[in-house]
Amino acid sequence: MRILVSNDDGYFAPGIAALAEALREVGDVTVVAPERDRSGASNSLTLDRPLSLRRAANGFYFVNGTPTDCVHLAVTGMLDHQPDMVVSGVNHGANMGDDTIYSGTVAAATEGYLLGVPSIAVSLVSKAATDFSAAARVARDLAERFLRNPFPQPVLLNVNVPDRAYDDLRGQRITRLGKRHKAEPVIRSTTPRGETVYWVGAAGGAADAGEGTDFHAVAEGYVSITPLQIDLTHTGQISTVAEWIGQ
Ligand code: MN
């Protein structure tokens, strides 16, 4: 099995090293990741300049672009084969609920999915974590499952792993995305030259974290697995909007 690995934290991040190491037990791994931290890059493609692909001493490739660029470039031209899976992560921090819209980790997996490759995004639910081995092993378990039992349809899985030892994880739960409260306000600051600048504030806390959500599963010590889709159509509003415009 050929596995393409990417992330949004950058090719030097400990999470991607742990992921690549774990997945090597299942298949041939190629790492193509951004040259710097592109967390929050979402599904952006770089269209205003060319992309450079370079190889680090450890064999990882890095690109001066976004997570989406990395997977797009790898699958549509760099690799001489279509990978059997794309795995993105292990992200340093959760990607649950509304995070998935902004996440570069999820975006890298989404790009694989859009290009027809089964894809998984893996995030570790901790901002202070240093040990990514449990989350990487969870990714390996899922990759092994794919190898033994390929999923019958195109699939995009968003996986969030509680920050605890592998043996202390309580199991896996299939979840839906929860919802967050509105983000914290921007933080105003002044540069040494007297210019006012703004830092984007933190994500809001969980608003819908009820039973069945990703937030709930992780809080209970389970690995959360949410199958995602990309169709943004609000089917429930089609008739209401039609009526509103007089049709
Ligand atoms: Mn990140």
Calculate how far, in angstroms, residue 59's C-alpha sits from the geometric centre of ligand 1. Answer: 21
Determine the residue type at 199: W
Calculate how far, in angstroms, residue 8's C-alpha sits from the geometric centre of ligand 1. Answer: 5
With respect to residue 34, please indicate whether it lies within any of the assigned structural domains: yes
Which CATH number characterizes residue 101's domain?
3.40.1210.10
With respect to residue 201, please indicate whether it lies within any of the assigned structural domains: no
With respect to residue 189, please indicate whether it lies within any of the assigned structural domains: no
Spatial contact of 93 and 131, defined as CB atoms under 8 Å apart? no
With respect to residue 197, please indicate whether it lies within any of the assigned structural domains: no
Q: How far apart are CA 63 and CA 34, in angstroms?
A: 5
Per-residue pLDDT of the chain (247 residues; tens, 9 = 90+): 999 999 999 999 999 999 999 999 999 999 999 999 999 999 999 999 999 999 999 999 999 999 999 999 999 999 999 999 999 999 999 999 999 999 999 999 999 999 999 999 999 999 898 999 999 999 999 999 999 999 989 999 999 999 999 999 999 999 999 999 999 999 999 999 999 999 999 999 998 999 999 999 999 999 999 999 999 999 999 999 999 999 9
Calculate how far, in angstroms, residue 233's C-alpha sits from the geometric centre of ligand 1. Answer: 27
With respect to residue 187, please indicate whether it lies within any of the assigned structural domains: no
Calculate how far, in angstroms, residue 70's C-alpha sits from the geometric centre of ligand 1. Answer: 14
Calculate how far, in angstroms, residue 213's C-alpha sits from the geometric centre of ligand 1. Answer: 21
With respect to residue 183, please indicate whether it lies within any of the assigned structural domains: no
Which domain, by its residues, includes 85? Answer: 2-177+209-244
Calculate how far, in angstroms, residue 237's C-alpha sits from the geometric centre of ligand 1. Answer: 33
Calculate how far, in angstroms, residue 30's C-alpha sits from the geometric centre of ligand 1. Answer: 19
With respect to residue 93, please indicate whether it lies within any of the assigned structural domains: yes
Rounded to two decimals, what is the model's pTM?
Answer: 0.96
The total number of structural domains that make up the chain? 1
Quote the crossing angle between the two packed helices 14-23 and 133-148, to the nearest 10°. Answer: 30
pLDDT value of residue 22: 98
Q: How far apart are CA 217 and CA 1, in angstroms?
A: 30
pLDDT value of residue 63: 98
Q: What is the H or E stretch that residue 106 is in?
A: helix 104-114
With respect to residue 155, please indicate whether it lies within any of the assigned structural domains: yes
